[in-house]
Chains A and B, each alone.
Chain A
Amino acid sequence: DVKVTQSSRYLVKRTGEKVFLECVQDMDHENMFWYRQDPGLGLRLIYFSYDVKMKEKGDIPEGYSVSREKKERFSLILESASTNQTSMYLCASSLAHGTKVRHSPLHFGNGTRLTVT
């Protein structure tokens, strides 16, 4: 089974801190994703990456950056955390490039609940 591991289950940070959320997948997947999940808003895509050192903005990239130096690891960075970034963050990965991506399931981690105070 594919395993997507997020480094922290719960995280509490102060406003203005730089925050790193780490995600590792063990199935050699090309694609990796970062979502945030908020009540009433569902899942929203922040960034995704389809290869090492490649990244694409999702629907809500403002205030975030990402890093993918190795295929198995995708990091989400909050350069200066703010209280409106308090949320559940979900990492996911999937196989396949190009048109095959359309029928490639996403595999999610169990999330990091970040609180910014």
Chain B
Amino acid sequence: DAKTTQPNSMESNEEEPVHLPCNHSTISGTDYIHWYRQLPSQGPEYVIHGLTSNVNNRMASLAIAEDRKSSTLILHRATLRDAAVYYCILRGIIQGAQKLVFGQGTRLTINP
């Protein structure tokens, strides 16, 4: 199964951009890259996803490497509310079954 690798933790300052990396060197050609985040005492929430092209939404941007072996979640201007564990996930199909592989997540700390 394709797996993802993320740093265990990162730290940034409020109102600065944050770049959260994810490696997925064994990604298959049909896997989508999803990002979720988990705030304290809550279930994970969807942030963004993409296949090949960079993606933007109101929460974040997703930059995908040309060879698709890595991606970066970009928070353009971090706030204290962005402190969470961020998960990079690959979603694909193997033999008709759903393939959902969670990385270990990056714990993001935001300093005021």
Contacts and interface: CB of A to CB of B under 8 A. Distances in A.
Contacts of A31: 98
A102 B91 contact: yes
Interface string A45-70: 10010100000100000000000000
Interface in A79-117: 90, 92, 98-99, 101-111
Contacts of B105: 42
A74 interface: no
Measured as residues with beta carbon below 8 angstroms from the partner, the interface class of chain A is 20 to 34
Contact of B104 (A42, A103, A107): A42
Contacts of A109: 43
Interface of B: 30-32, 34, 36, 41-46, 49, 51, 87, 91-93, 97-98, 100, 102-105
